[in-house]
Structure formats: structure tokens, C-alpha cells
Amino acid sequence: MTAQNKSAGLGIALPDPPPPAGDYQPVMIRGGFGFVSGQVPVRDGRLLFTGRVGIELTPEQGRAAAEIAALNVLAQIDKALPSWDQFGGLLRVEGFVASASGFTNQPEILDGASRLFAEALGELGQHSRAAFSVEQLPLNASVELVVTFATQTQIPASQN
Amino acid sequence: MTAQNKSAGLGIALPDPPPPAGDYQPVMIRGGFGFVSGQVPVRDGRLLFTGRVGIELTPEQGRAAAEIAALNVLAQIDKALPSWDQFGGLLRVEGFVASASGFTNQPEILDGASRLFAEALGELGQHSRAAFSVEQLPLNASVELVVTFATQTQIPASQN
Amino acid sequence: MTAQNKSAGLGIALPDPPPPAGDYQPVMIRGGFGFVSGQVPVRDGRLLFTGRVGIELTPEQGRAAAEIAALNVLAQIDKALPSWDQFGGLLRVEGFVASASGFTNQPEILDGASRLFAEALGELGQHSRAAFSVEQLPLNASVELVVTFATQTQIPASQN
């Protein structure tokens, strides 16, 4: 855990953001939008809740996994922005859930992430969402979140 | 069906937009872009054409499912915008098709959605697209569409 | 190969961009952002490296497939922009890898694409990324890339 991150105002403690799993950036920001790389339920360098909901995991464990992945999304935004004053709100959450064949309640699992975003961000946590079921995810993760957010864009005074 | 929606100018009747399947918003609009939550072939509260193309469904049924999901995309945009004058055109359609192992003509299925967008929106219905095959979708849907669109952004007069 | 494409400055030869697989546009550009349709490892009209990593393909072949798909992404951008001076950098790469059950190192496969982007584009090739494992892709492709990029937006002089 980061003792002094910028998230004091969020009212929740954020983990250290996980490093990328390959040759890419954790977050790209451009033109008022931010693009967060896929986040999985890693904590302190260990991937938690591996496997599929409906086989290795219960729905409750799946929701807990979604919550940890959501905390990592917030940790990445926290690191990428100079301050949360620059944050303009979530826009889209795409959630992939590794699932047993026949388990089709992925929305229930992803509500674990959506509720955490609401608790941490209030109105700025509102988002559109798309849920998907997959047989497996990279590294055998149970949940992966792909998030797009808005930044506060200000027209520099020099342009007026 | 909505008797008096704003889509009169589209030349097609739009259904009532389906409610979200969890704790999220159907559409988010920001900075000239709109993000529609994943849409499936729900009509009048019932999910139609469940199952996989190549097993429970024929390709023709898959195309019909894609068309219904596309109508729901338009219904969500219709509800989210004050008027279609604010609509700036589709940008990206990501289409997920629940498919039998060995059925790999997902583009043919998604053309059901793409052609409906062209009929309803003309030039503003043009879009980039990505097609995917999945073993199953949430709620056992056969097709899910994730759409990004543009809005007409106008620089307020006070900024000039 | 195109003898005279606009990519001379990239230092690599680009293939002709593959035509769309259905009723859609290869690239849409709006408001400072570009959306590239899903690209697969097609070259000269033939889909190369079909099948799944871990069954029909080795990881090395998967990386080669990701590289060819990445070249097609660049070819599409090259065709869509009047010049690479208008290119503002990659933003997001979503990579889907057809994989054997149990093969979960999709990030290693997608590094084939990420490194090619870095070589061709330098700083402007930096991107966020999300990796996915799928059982199969359209047309039996082994890799599909969905890319979002930035364009250089300039405020027309008449607006100042």
C-alpha cells in the first residue's frame, strides 16, 4: 500500500499500481480522455482468485476479484494524473469474466467493480459497461477490466 | 414500442431501450463522444435468439439477432440525446457473436447490424468494426454490440 | 507492397491495407481520435498463421502473426491520413489471441505487435494495452488487434 498517494480524498486506500505485463504503458491520456490498460486482480505482486467463476471460484469470489481489479484501475489513474482534480469521471468499463460453460451472470460479477467505483468516486464513478464471458484470461486471471475515463480539459489561457 | 420517440426522422420505429443489467448507465456522453453499454437482442423485456450460431441458431437467425441488438443501440442513443440533430455519426462497432466451434463467419452475422445502421442513419451510420467469436455471452445472448459514436460539439459563442 | 506509400518516414515498408471483411469502414477519424477496424494477419490477400497458439502455432509463430497484424494497422492508418504529420500517436491496443486451453501468456504474443509499433513509430508508438485469450477468431485468425489512435488536431485559424 502507498502511504501517501493522492487518493486521500477518495476515502479509500489504493494499492500500488501493478506494472505492465509487457511492452506497453499502464495509462495513456490524450484530448480529454484516458485509456487504462487491462487490469486484473493483482495485489502486492500476486494474482488473486485465479480460475473461472462456476468452477474454481464462487460468484462471491468473482465479485471480490472484480473489486480488486477495480482498485487497480483507480491506482493506475491515481498514478497517471497529477491530482484527482484533473479527473473528469469514468466513461466505459469493459469487463471480461473467466466463466464456466453455462455460467451467464457476468453482470452480477462486474457489479463488484461498479459498486466500488460508485463508493470511491460518487457521481464521477458512473459509467457505461459491457460484460463478457471468456473461457480463460491471460495469466489465468478471473476478471479483466478495460476502462476509459475523462480528464478535466482546460483551454490554456494563452489560446483565448 | 414508443409511440412518440425522437426517431421519426430515422424512418424506422425504435423499441423502448432496455434497462441496464447491473449498476451502470446505458450511455455516457463526454467531449464529443458517446459510449453505449453492451446491447443484446432484447425486445419487450425478452431476450430473443439465445444460444450459438452454428448450434442453436442458423446464420440467418444470427443476423436477425444482430439487427435487434442494433435497434437497441439506436434506441439508447435516441434516449440519451436531446435530438438526433446532436448525433455526429457512429464511429466503432465491436460485435461479439456466440458461435459453435468451427463457425468463423462472424463478419456475415454482424453485417445484419451494419446494414441496419446504414439504412437508419445513412452516411452517419458508417463505422469501423471489429468482430469476435465467443463461446457464450452474458444471459446466453447470441450477439452483443459495443458502440462508440460522435456527438455534434459546438464551441459556445462565449469562447470566441 | 505499395511502392509509394506515405510511410517512407517510418523506415519500414507497409503492405497494402486489407479490405474490410464486411459492410464497414477500415478507419473512422473524428475529434482528434482514430478508430481502426479489427486487423488480422492478412498479407497479399491470404490469412497467415491460422489456428491457435499452443496447438497449431508455436508462441514464436503467434508473435510473427501479431507483427503482421500490426503492420496492417499501420497500413490502414497510412491510407486514412493525408500524411504521417497528422498522426498523434497510438493510444490503445486491444489484442485477442486464439489460444489453446491452458496457454495464458497472451502478453508475450502481443509484444510482437507492441515492439513493431515502437520500432516504426518511436515515442508515438507508445500505447496502453489489453490482452485477451479466445478459443477462435473470425476466419480462424490467430491474432486480432483493435487500435485507437490520436490525430494532430489544429484549431483552424478562422476560429481564433
Mean pLDDT per 10-residue segment, chain B (160 residues): 56 93 97 97 97 98 98 98 96 98 98 97 97 97 98 56
- How many other CB atoms are there within 10 angstroms of residue A29's CB atom? 18
Q: Has domain A26-152 been given CATH number 3.30.1330.40?
A: yes
ipTM comes to 0.92
The set of cell numbers assigned to A17 is: 499500481
pTM of the model: 0.93
Q: How far does C28 lie from chain B, in Å, by closest CA?
A: 6
Contacts of B134 in chain A (CB under 8 A): 132-134
Q: Which of A20, A35, A144 faces C92 most closely, judged by CB atoms?
A: A35
Asked if A148 and B20 come within 8 Å (Cβ–Cβ), the reply is no
Residue whose cell numbers read 454482424: B110
**Which residues have a Cβ under 8 Å from the Cβ of A153 and sit 6 or more positions away?**
A31, A32, A88, B31
Scanning every residue of chain C, which has its alpha carbon at the shortest distance from the alpha carbon of B31?
Answer: C31
Tell me what pLDDT residue A159 has.
Answer: 35
Determine the pLDDT at residue C159: 35
Flag whether residue C111 sits within 8 Å of chain A, measured between CB atoms. Answer: yes
The answer on pLDDT for C155 being more than 90 is no
pLDDT for the residue C8: 58
Cβ of C35 and B104 within 8 Å?
A: no
CB of C45 less than 8 A from some CB of B:
no
Q: Which of B17, B76, B12, B74 lies closest to B42 in space, CA to CA?
A: B17
More confident residue, A121 or C7: A121
pLDDT value for A8:
58
Residue A58's CB: how many other CB atoms inside 10 A? 12
The number of residues making up chain C comes to 160
State the pLDDT at residue B152. Answer: 93
**Contact between chains at A138 and C148 (C-beta distance less than 8 A):** no
Q: Is the dihedral of CA C70, C71, C76, C79 positive or negative?
A: positive
- Exposure string for A72-82, b = 16+ CB within 10 A, e = fewer: bbbbbbbbbbe
Q: Tell me how many residue pairs between chain B and chain C have CB atoms under 8 A apart.
A: 89
- How confident is the prediction for chain C on average, in pLDDT? 92
Cα A48 to Cα A60: distance, rounded to the nearest angstrom: 14
What band does C3 get if pLDDT is binned at 50, 70 and 90? Answer: very low
Helical spans, DSSP H, in A82-149: 106-121
pLDDT for A11: 80
Distance in angstroms (rounded) separating the CA atoms of residues B13 and C139: 34
| pLDDT at residue number C153 | 73
pLDDT at C7 over 80: no
User: Cα–Cα–Cα angle for A145, A150, A156, nearest 5°?
Assistant: 150
Extents of the domains making up chain C: 33-152
C82-123 pLDDT per residue, tens: 999 999 999 999 999 999 999 999 999 999 999 999 999 999
CB B66 within 8 A of CB B105: no
- DSSP H helices in A50-158: 59-80, 106-121
- Nearest CA-CA partner of C36 in C148, C125, C133: C148
Ranges of beta strands (E only) in chain A are: 27-30, 33-39, 42-43, 46-47, 87-98, 128-134, 143-151
pLDDT one-digit tens code per residue, C14-68: 999 999 999 999 999 999 999 999 999 999 999 999 999 999 999 999 999 999 9
Per-residue pLDDT of chain A (160 residues; tens, 9 = 90+): 443 456 657 888 999 999 999 999 999 999 999 999 999 999 999 999 999 999 999 999 999 999 999 999 999 999 999 999 999 999 999 999 999 999 999 999 999 999 999 999 999 999 999 999 999 999 999 999 999 999 997 544 443 3
What cell does C112 get?
510482437
* Chain A residue nearest residue C30, CA to CA: A31
Specify the pLDDT at position B6: 63
Q: Which of B91, B129, B133 is the closest to C22 by Cβ?
A: B129
**Architecture of the domain spanning B33-152:** 2-Layer Sandwich (3.30)
